[in-house]
Amino acid sequence: MRRYSFVQLLRNAVGLGDGWQQAWRSPEPKSSYDVVIVGGGGHGLATAYYLAKNHGVRNIAVLEKGWLGGGNTGRNTTVVRSNYLWDESAAIYEHSLKLWEGLTRDLNYNLMFSQRGLVMLAHTEHELNEASRRVHANRLNGIDAEIWSREQTLAFIPILNGSKDIRYPVIGSSIQKRAGIARHDAVAWGFARAADALGVDIIQNCEVTAIRRDGSRVVGLDTTRGAIDARKVGLVAAGHSSVLAGLAGFRLPIESHPLQAMVSEPIKPVLDTVVMSGTVHAYVSQSDKGELVMGAGIDAFNSYAQRGSLPILEEIASAMIELFPIVSRLKVLRSWGGIVDICPDASPIIGKTPVDGLYINCGWGTGGFKATPGSGWVLADTIANDRPHPLAAPFSLNRFSSGRLIDEHGAAAVAH
């Protein structure tokens, strides 16, 4: 892999370079691999990358039924933060955020990671109390967090509706200054390029049709591009996790729902942070192109359709106008939906499954993008050592029978 650098950019720009190489190969699948990762989104690619980089595993394939990053990695609102309430969540999301902080350099790929801060608005006394509780919990876990007054909040976000006569006036906020956004496609491409350079075979247009077992142990996969033997298999398929678990013969506490987002037409810079509101229910940032990137909620019903319904978009539009009256004349450029894997306690499932040699990473629901590097890191370690990584251990599948759930519904403030 030729490293990207300013010098290389300059040489190619003036015609002295030898052009740009393809970022990753498109190999034919081999008949057997040490580890096969099912799912070529950010989490799957990160898992393969860290398996190769941290654990020296060389014979790895990533199978993707569509194209790289064509699922939720390319369909989210790119928010990265770590201010979760419970210790278990704080630990894994903060581990992820610390990886984000060095990831562009590590992958040699510009992820456009921008720590522009994330403000969670409080509109009621109760909300401010809960925010205060979360901020203290964050600080005890070594995560930066502050409570801001109404005045501080309005000064930081000039376009925010500061009227006291609205149904939900802003009375304060909490902020995590190290939070921010990243370029989502670059995350998939950067991990793919770096993993490919370490010898990982990335195989697109390859759907798994069966999971073969020998007794209680996984031995391989049947795919639309032929049979592949595998010593270990990691399922990292987000909204399609239940389908894959069904092929392997076990059940998951996951339900798949469409989550929608939309962007406005590009405008001049008006918002240099990320704003979330749980009560009015919106989360928004402005992309470098100038579009306002707005996240909506999920449709209540189960769906695999990668599209949502219009009432949800109507809700996000009305919430946006309530929070930021200046956007009322903006046109919506496009909207889209992704299929998210919703877990009963709004926390992920990472670790071993009832099938030996088969590992799973799913249930990130509406908030998986921010966890991409950390999630890949701990699953790679779990697969390499056949035991849960310490940060992944609390998120095991058996927490649903032990009853030790990690309830992050409240801490998320909004569908994140």
Partner 1 sequence: MLLIPCPYCGERAEGEFRYGGEAHFRRPDNHLEATDEAWADYLFMRKNPKGWHRERWMHLAGCRRWFYVVRHTITHKIATAYKVGDAHPDLPA
Structure tokens at 229: 């033997």
Query: How far is the C-alpha of 305 from the C-alpha of 312, rounded, in Å?
Result: 15
In contact, 374 and 95? CB cutoff 8 Å: yes
CB of 398 to partner 1, least distance (A): 8
Structure tokens at 336: 């889209």
Query: How far is the C-alpha of 40 from the C-alpha of 203, rounded, in Å?
Result: 8
Q: Which is nearer to partner 1, 238 or 327 (CB)?
A: 238
In contact, 127 and 198? CB cutoff 8 Å: no
CB of 245 to partner 1, least distance (A): 9
Q: Which is nearer to partner 1, 29 or 239 (CB)?
A: 239
Q: Which is nearer to partner 1, 77 or 242 (CB)?
A: 242
Q: Which residues contact 84 (CB under 8 A, 6 or more apart)?
A: 90, 93, 138, 408, 411, 412
CB of 252 to partner 1, least distance (A): 7
Q: Cα 193 to the chain's mean position, in Å?
A: 19
Q: Which is nearer to partner 1, 27 or 354 (CB)?
A: 354
Query: How far is the C-alpha of 395 from the C-alpha of 402, rounded, in Å?
Result: 12
Q: Which is nearer to partner 1, 303 or 382 (CB)?
A: 303
Structure tokens at 366: 């509406």
Q: Which is nearer to partner 1, 223 or 273 (CB)?
A: 223
Structure tokens at 129: 């109390």
Query: How far is the C-alpha of 71 from the C-alpha of 38, rounded, in Å?
Result: 13
CB of 403 to partner 1, least distance (A): 8
**How many Cα atoms sit within 13 Å of 287 on the Cβ side?**
16
Write down the residue that tokens 């894994």 correspond to. 92
CB of 194 to partner 1, least distance (A): 32
CB of 155 to partner 1, least distance (A): 39
Q: Which is nearer to partner 1, 261 or 342 (CB)?
A: 342
CB of 132 to partner 1, least distance (A): 31
- The secondary structure of residue 238, as a DSSP letter, is G
In contact, 158 and 99? CB cutoff 8 Å: no
- 3-state secondary structure string, 368-394? CHHHHHHHHHHHHHHHHHCCCCCCCHH
Please give the residue ranges that form the binding site for partner 1 (CB under 8 A): 240, 242-243, 251-256, 300-305, 309-311, 344, 400-403
Query: How far is the C-alpha of 61 from the C-alpha of 27, rounded, in Å?
Result: 10
Dihedrals phi, psi of 44, to nearest 5 degrees: -65, -45
CB-count burial class (<10 Å; 0-12, 13-18, 19+) for 300: exposed
CB of 98 to partner 1, least distance (A): 31
Q: Which is nearer to partner 1, 124 or 398 (CB)?
A: 398
CB of 341 to partner 1, least distance (A): 9
Q: Which is nearer to partner 1, 222 or 229 (CB)?
A: 222
